[in-house]
Amino acid sequence: MITLDLLVARFPALDQAQLQEWIAEGMLRAEPGPSFTEIDVARIALIMELRNELALDDAALPVVLSLLDQLYTLRRELAALRGAPPSP
Amino acid sequence: MAADPYGILGLKRDASAEAIKAAYRKLARKHHPDLNPGKPEAEARFKAVSAAHDLLSDPDKRGRFDRGEIDAEGQEQRPTAGYRRHADAAQGARYDGQSGGSPFDDLFADMFEARRRAESAPRPGQDESYRLDVTFIDAMLGTTTPMRLPDGRSLSVRIPPGITTGQVLRLRRQGGPGRNGGAAGDALIGITVQEHPLLRREGRNIAMELPVSLREAVLGGPVEVPTPSGRLRITLPAHSDSGRQIRLRGKGVAAHGAEPAGDLLLTLKVVVGPADAALDAFLQDWTPSETEDPRAALDFPA
């Protein structure tokens, strides 16, 4: 579990109000506390990269994330159907 | 993941370089292994403090850490695919395509719905791209040229004077046909202007070399010059050396819209011509009135 403090240390550019918004909009999940798992941290990195480096605006971001989520769900289902174990 | 180096040194993220050094010295003194024999935790702490100081005292590394490019151990952060590693694995289910039921249904339902709507709506045709080679003279003076398309249609393409390689002409409504009453797309014609062996473009001016005989160069007089806009008679000033430039106003790239016509720039080139016994004999007997070294200006440092 990764605490908010560690998260801030990891992402100095992270705005906490923004973080709360992402959680409120369902783009990001957090455990009560709040604390975060490794995938949440990777997702924060992804969101920040999409916003800051790829200049996606805030309206496009949830759309892109939702499509990505559907894509990864499909990829996992496909891997399961192929009988391949999900990659580590 | 190693702990936050700022935390280890007990500093805020905006700490100055002096503050970092001071905090490091204080902690290093306290935890130095030689001063704390038999206390392995002090050694570990000292190592952590040293590593944190190494990272933060180097402005370059500190900047990279602050931007998240390297982690506290100085390891490069994986720039991309960090998320994919998780999302492809079982824990990716945490962000399952949020719509309940099988994700297949929704994804495809949306796609089919969008497609159905797109098919019944008026849809403009696609823009089609073509290439057209234009001769140097046509690009200079402008022209209208027929162009046959792969589908058999023939277009009449108006080439404006002064067009350059890489420009694209857009012919409205000459591209792919529209569907359901949509307008046709445009034809986009990429222009390549061919080179010319004698002429060179300099903006809206045209540069050309004009060979003149020795006699014409010395005595001057009228000469006839073939140019892209026809044969012109010009009067050569006497004593015209090689390299002298003569500007023929308005004989360059033709006027177009607000752009006035360019000029034709002739650069003289004296041509001695084939061997001539009379000229040889004359020059043998000739003593120049003023002996001036034509190479005087070639002044290389010794």
Domains of chain A: 2-81 (1.10.1660)
B206 and B263 part of one domain: yes
B203 and B178 part of one domain: no
- Based on the structure, what is the number of domains in chain B? 3
CB B250 within 8 A of CB B205: no
Higher pLDDT, B178 or B242: B242
Question: Would residue B78 count as lying in a domain?
Answer: no
What gap in Å lies between CA B10 and CA A8, rounded to an integer? 15
Mutate to test the interface with B, among A27, A69, A71 (most CBs of B within 10 A): A69
- Residue B124, preceding peptide bond in cis (omega within 30° of 0): no
Q: Which of B157, B175, B193 is the last residue of a domain?
A: B193
Q: pLDDT tens digit string along B48-85?
A: 888 888 888 888 888 888 877 777 776 655 444 578 77
Q: What pLDDT is stored for residue A67 in this prediction?
A: 85
Q: pLDDT tens digit string along B172-206?
A: 888 888 877 778 888 889 999 999 999 999 999 99
Q: What pLDDT is stored for residue B111 in this prediction?
A: 60
Q: Residue B66 and residue A87: Cβ atoms within 8 Å? A: no
What gap in Å lies between CA B118 and CA B111, rounded to an integer? 10
As a whole number, mean pLDDT of residues B207-234 equals 92
B158 and B186 part of one domain: yes
Shortest distance between the Cα of A22 and any Cα of chain B, in A, equals 13
Q: Which residue of B has its CA nearest to A37?
A: B91
Question: Would residue B283 count as lying in a domain?
Answer: no
What is the interface pTM, i.e. ipTM, of the complex? 0.72
- Tell me the pLDDT band of B2, cut-offs 50, 70 and 90: low
Given the DSSP bridges, would you call strands B128-134 and B187-193 parallel, antiparallel or unpaired? parallel
- SS3 of A70, please? helix
- Its domain, for residue B145, covers 128-193
B138 and B157 part of one domain: yes
CB B94 within 8 A of CB A29: yes
- Tell me the pLDDT band of A54, cut-offs 50, 70 and 90: confident
Q: What pLDDT is stored for residue A68 in this prediction?
A: 84
Question: Would residue B203 count as lying in a domain?
Answer: yes
Which candidate from A10, A39, A79 shows the least CB-CB separation from B91? A39
Residues 30-89 of B with CB under 8 A from A: 66-68, 71, 77, 80, 82-89
Given a cut of 80, whether residue B145 has pLDDT beyond it is: yes
B213 and B269 part of one domain: yes
- Tell me the pLDDT band of B287, cut-offs 50, 70 and 90: confident
As a whole number, mean pLDDT of residues B236-241 equals 91
| CATH for B145 | 2.60.260.20
- Tell me the pLDDT band of B261, cut-offs 50, 70 and 90: very high
Q: What pLDDT is stored for residue B99 in this prediction?
A: 47
Q: pLDDT tens digit string along A17-45?
A: 888 888 888 889 888 878 888 888 889 98
Given a cut of 90, whether residue A11 has pLDDT beyond it is: no
B187 and B203 part of one domain: no
Question: Would residue B252 count as lying in a domain?
Answer: yes
Q: What pLDDT is stored for residue B140 in this prediction?
A: 92
- Tell me the pLDDT band of A3, cut-offs 50, 70 and 90: confident
Q: Which residue of B has its CA nearest to A7?
A: B4
Question: Would residue B90 count as lying in a domain?
Answer: no
Question: Would residue B294 count as lying in a domain?
Answer: no
List chain A residues with CB under 8 Å of B13: 12
Question: Would residue B149 count as lying in a domain?
Answer: yes
- Tell me the pLDDT band of B248, cut-offs 50, 70 and 90: very high
B235 and B182 part of one domain: no
Buried b (16+ CB within 10 A) or exposed e, B200-231: ebeebbbbbebebeeebbeeeeeeebebbbee
CB B221 within 8 A of CB B236: yes
Give the pTM: 0.45
Given a cut of 80, whether residue B120 has pLDDT beyond it is: no
Q: pLDDT tens digit string along B263-274?
A: 999 999 999 989
Share of chain A above pLDDT 70, in %: 93
B12 and B59 part of one domain: yes
Given a cut of 80, whether residue B119 has pLDDT beyond it is: no
B205 and B257 part of one domain: yes
Given a cut of 80, whether residue B118 has pLDDT beyond it is: no
As a whole number, mean pLDDT of residues B41-52 equals 85
Q: What pLDDT is stored for residue B100 in this prediction?
A: 47
Mean confidence (pLDDT) of chain B: 83
- SS3 of B228, please? coil
Q: Look up residue B14 and give its amino acid.
A: D
Question: Would residue B292 count as lying in a domain?
Answer: no
| CATH for B19 | 1.10.287.110
B204 and B262 part of one domain: yes
List chain B residues with CB under 8 Å of A38: 86, 91
B179 and B205 part of one domain: no
